[in-house]
């Protein structure tokens, strides 16, 4: 199959491309970032997804399937840029896909769509609305991109659309929000709160995407791996030290003392869990995760051991 | 930090039929370590401080979904805590009752962490359905915060019962085990509730006793479990049907309370 991957040069994009090429697919990608050592059989085009050059790639490659991974999730990027990339890019993917005969589009979304809040239930289902935006407006572009992609299900019924709301990744690449949060030796938490974190190994992310591609399932699906684990357990099991800070102090310290400058709304994500029920995806595709929560934590801490300074 | 735990409690926690992973955590985040610490503390109150008497424990199913539905008794949640303890210490194999907690608890530091790690989740219908479909034991006090706010003189009375539990029980075909809790009102003899102070502290109210603080007195407590009640239907019935079913549960608990109160007064 001819597959086009916008966002191919990201860590997960590279892993997906490598796997699909190894499976015998023709893989091409679009990214502003360079992927120097792309394996043979993977064509990387250095263009901006929202520029005219990208449409040319669609025209030339004539992909049968598109895996859209060109979204910015970390909150350090200015929100205007994020809006342009996440929403404008997603629109471009669907416009080009329709114009050039693509049969299947996979949108890679995030489980943070549901938001974290004291009153929200565990294990969200796909039919639930995004409830926590009022506390965390910075997530609005990702939520909008997710809903826009989902609207293709009724706007373009001839196109098979799969929206995958994936939980955090944790594994040897150190890629993703949770892994970045755990990078240091001391991990700050909010005193008196210990939310569940749901994560999956990078290889399971690749496996889930390959499965969705193979089964060509239509719809919106939560995608997860093993059972969630409390943050305190993740921190200890990966060899880190818990640094509980009272909430008021934590909010004041953001952006100082080596702490990232996060929006206030992000604090809810280290106070309350976002957990998803992925049984619909498992049922529709037969997907089963292969890496346990212990595997994820072990692989991450081996790749990123804590260096103890004297 | 190593907190001393009771060997009996540890043995019982290990016999719980809950799917803990290698880290001792179940899919909802219930933690063996936290349960051991919490129930070691509860054991002292259950066995030594209050001396809790349990009747009708055979009415609680050993396995499978069930709802414990009871009256609130005492200004703070000693009733819930002692019901949890009775399920842990009197059942064989022990069971973990999972309470449906008032929403404010999840916003309070430590209360949020400990209630979640011990399986006591916010009282949301989504949580109740998921846990019941997972064959867990749910504990619900349909009087809600109005029930814990009962004054000393109202201690054997019941206030309005919410109806949500009945729709959920019918929808999930869950047997209801009525329970009557006696003595909480004597343990915390509330003469008034400070609502404004509570609001400032982020809780519904603060109970005030003749000795001011709501520190429970070491009185004899009783939990009576009645025969399971089953209600046929889909949970989508008219309000009148649901209210009639709730009335049946409420009346059962009221007569159990009445019996218990007369027995406490030595009339029986």
User: Which domains, ranges and CATH numbers included, belong to chain B?
Assistant: 7-263 (3.40.1130)
- B176-182/B221-225 β-pairing: antiparallel
Q: Which residues of A touch B (CB under 8 A)?
A: 118-119, 121-123, 190-194, 196, 227-230, 233, 237, 246-247, 271-273, 293-294
Residue A310: pLDDT above 60?
A: no
- Do A113 and A71 contact (CB within 8 A), yes or no? no
Query: Which chain A residues are Cβ-neighbours of B106 within 8 angstroms?
Result: 118-119, 272
B112/A237 touch (CB, cutoff 8 Å), yes or no: no
Per-residue pLDDT, B1: 60
pLDDT tens string, chain B, 268 residues long: the values are: 677 788 999 999 999 999 999 999 999 999 999 999 999 999 999 999 998 999 999 999 999 999 999 999 887 888 999 999 999 999 999 999 999 998 889 999 999 999 999 999 999 999 999 999 999 999 999 998 888 888 888 888 899 999 999 999 999 999 999 999 999 888 888 888 899 988 888 788 888 888 888 888 899 999 999 999 999 999 999 999 999 999 999 999 999 999 999 998 888 8
Per-residue pLDDT, B61: 97
Other CB atoms within 10 Å distance of the CB of residue A187: 20
Residue A309: pLDDT above 60?
A: no
Q: Which residue of B has its CA nearest to A274?
A: B28
Q: What angle do CA B162, B165, B171 make, to 5 degrees?
A: 140
Query: Which chain A residues are Cβ-neighbours of B127 within 8 angstroms?
Result: 121-122
All residues at 6 or more sequence positions from A299 whose CB lies less than 8 Å from its CB, including other chains = A171, A172, A201, A291
Q: Which of A158-167, A183-192, B1-10, B147-156 has the highest mean pLDDT?
A: A158-167
All residues at 6 or more sequence positions from A131 whose CB lies less than 8 Å from its CB, including other chains = A114, A115, A117, A120
Q: Which ipTM score applies to this complex?
A: 0.89
All residues at 6 or more sequence positions from A40 whose CB lies less than 8 Å from its CB, including other chains = none
Of B23, B103, B108, the CB nearest to A237: B23
Per-residue pLDDT, A75: 64
B117/A273 touch (CB, cutoff 8 Å), yes or no: no
Of A227, A230, A271, the CB nearest to B31: A230
Q: Tell me the two tokens of residue A217.
A: 């399932």
Exposure on the CB side of residue A215, measured as CA atoms within 13 A: 17
Mean pLDDT for A279-284 is 98
Of B25, B108, B110, the CB nearest to A233: B25
Per-residue pLDDT, A154: 97
Mean pLDDT for A154-180 is 95
Picking from B24, B115, B116 by the largest number of A CB atoms within 10 A of its own CB, the best residue to mutate is B116
Per-residue pLDDT, A78: 62
Per-residue pLDDT, A72: 80
All residues at 6 or more sequence positions from A23 whose CB lies less than 8 Å from its CB, including other chains = A210
- Do B111 and B202 contact (CB within 8 A), yes or no? no
Q: How far is CA A10 from CA A33, A36, A82, A256, B111, in A?
A: 8, 12, 16, 28, 40
Instruction: Look at residue A190 and give its three-state secondary structure.
Output: strand
Query: Which chain A residues are Cβ-neighbours of B25 within 8 angstroms?
Result: 227, 229-230, 233
Query: Which chain A residues are Cβ-neighbours of B129 within 8 angstroms?
Result: none
* Chain segment B117-133, per-residue pLDDT in tens: 999 999 999 999 999 99
Quote the DSSP letter at residue A137. G
Per-residue pLDDT, B5: 85
- B221-225/B52-55 β-pairing: parallel
Per-residue pLDDT, B242: 97
What do you get for the CA distance between the two ends of chain A, in Å? Answer: 54
A with B: how many residue pairs have Cβ under 8 Å apart? 66
How many Å apart are CA B214 and CA B147, to the nearest integer?
A: 16
Instruction: Look at residue A108 and give its three-state secondary structure.
Output: strand
How many Å apart are CA B93 and CA B87, to the nearest integer?
A: 9
Percent of chain A with pLDDT over 70: 96
Per-residue pLDDT, B213: 83
All residues at 6 or more sequence positions from A228 whose CB lies less than 8 Å from its CB, including other chains = A196, A197, A198, A199, A273, A275, A293, B27, B29
Query: Which chain B residues are Cβ-neighbours of A268 within 8 angstroms?
Result: none
Residue A5 φ then ψ, to 5°: -120, 95
B109/A192 touch (CB, cutoff 8 Å), yes or no: yes
* Chain segment A199-257, per-residue pLDDT in tens: 999 999 999 999 999 999 999 999 999 999 999 999 999 999 999 999 999 888 877 77
Name the residue with tokens 């805590």.
Answer: B81
Mean pLDDT for A158-173 is 97
Residues 113-142 of chain B whose Cβ lies under 8 A from any Cβ of chain A = 113, 116-117, 121-122, 124, 126-127, 130
Of B23, B121, B126, the CB nearest to A233: B23
Per-residue pLDDT, B212: 82
* Chain segment A66-119, per-residue pLDDT in tens: 999 998 877 666 667 778 888 999 999 999 999 999 999 999 999 999 999 999
Taking alpha carbons only, the member of B153, B161, B151, B204 closest to residue B71 is: B161
Q: Which residue of B has its CA nearest to A237?
A: B23
A273/B106 touch (CB, cutoff 8 Å), yes or no: no
> From the CA of A185, how many Å to the nearest CA of chain B?
19
Per-residue pLDDT, B75: 75
Residue A260: pLDDT above 70?
A: no
How many Å apart are CA A193 and CA B206, to the nearest integer?
A: 23
């Amino acid at each position: 199959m001819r597959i086009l991957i916008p966002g191919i040069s990201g860590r997960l994009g590279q892993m997906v491309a490598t796997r699909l090429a190894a499976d015998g697919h023709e893989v091409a990608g679009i990214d502003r970032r360079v992927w120097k050592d792309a394996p043979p059989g993977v064509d990387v085009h250095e263009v901006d997804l929202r520029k005219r050059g990208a449409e040319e790639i669609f025209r030339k490659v004539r992909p049968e399937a598109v895996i859209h991974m060109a979204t910015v999730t970390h909150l350090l990027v200015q929100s205007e840029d994020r809006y342009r990339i996440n929403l404008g890019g997603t629109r471009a993917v669907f416009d080009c896909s329709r114009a050039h005969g693509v049969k299947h589009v996979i949108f890679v979304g995030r489980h943070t769509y549901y938001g974290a809040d004291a009153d929200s239930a565990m294990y969200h289902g796909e039919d639930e609305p995004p409830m926590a935006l009022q506390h965390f407006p910075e997530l609005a572009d990702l939520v909008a991109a997710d809903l826009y992609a989902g609207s293709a299900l009724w706007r373009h019924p001839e196109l098979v659309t799969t929206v995958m709301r994936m939980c955090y990744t944790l594994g040897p690449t150190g890629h993703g929000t949770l892994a970045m949060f755990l990078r240091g030796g001391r991990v700050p938490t909010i005193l008196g709160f210990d939310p569940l974190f749901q994560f999956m190994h990078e290889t399971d992310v690749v496996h889930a995407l390959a499965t969705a591609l193979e089964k060509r399932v239509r719809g919106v699906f939560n995608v997860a791996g093993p059972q969630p684990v409390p943050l305190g357990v993740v921190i200890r099991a990966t060899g880190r030290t818990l640094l509980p800070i009272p909430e008021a102090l934590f909010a004041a310290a953001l952006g100082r003392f080596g702490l990232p400058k996060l929006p206030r709304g992000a604090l809810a994500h280290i106070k309350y869990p976002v957990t998803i029920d992925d049984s619909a995806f498992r049922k529709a595709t037969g997907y089963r995760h292969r890496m346990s929560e212990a595997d994820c934590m072990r692989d991450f801490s081996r790749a990123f051991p804590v260096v103890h300074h004297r | 930090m190593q907190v001393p735990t009771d060997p009996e409690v540890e043995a019982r926690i290990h016999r719980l039929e809950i799917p803990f992973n290698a880290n001792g955590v179940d899919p909802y985040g219930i933690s063996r370590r936290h349960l051991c610490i919490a129930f070691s503390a509860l054991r002292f109150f259950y066995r030594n401080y209050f001396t809790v008497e349990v009747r009708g424990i055979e009415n609680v199913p050993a396995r499978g979904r069930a709802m414990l539905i009871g009256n609130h008794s005492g200004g703070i949640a000693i009733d819930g805590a002692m019901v949890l303890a009775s399920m842990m210490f009197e059942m064989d194999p022990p069971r973990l009752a999972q309470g449906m907690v008032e929403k404010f608890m999840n916003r309070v530091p430590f209360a949020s962490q400990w209630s979640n790690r011990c399986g006591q989740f916010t009282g949301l219908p989504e949580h109740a359905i998921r846990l019941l479909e997972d064959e867990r034991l749910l504990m619900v006090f349909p009087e809600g915060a109005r029930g814990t706010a009962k004054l000393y003189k109202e201690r054997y009375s019941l206030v309005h019962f919410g109806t949500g539990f009945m729709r959920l029980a019918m929808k999930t075909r869950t047997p209801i085990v009525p329970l009557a809790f006696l003595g909480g009102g004597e343990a915390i003899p509330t003469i008034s509730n400070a609502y404004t102070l509570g609001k400032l502290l982020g809780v519904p109210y603060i109970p005030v006793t003749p000795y001011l603080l709501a520190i429970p007195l070491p009185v004899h407590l009783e939990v009576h479990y009645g025969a399971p009640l089953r209600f046929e239907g889909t949970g989508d019935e008219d309000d009148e049907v649901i209210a009639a079913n709730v009335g049946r549960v409420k009346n059962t608990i009221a007569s159990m309370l009445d019996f218990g109160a007369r027995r406490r007064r030595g009339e029986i």
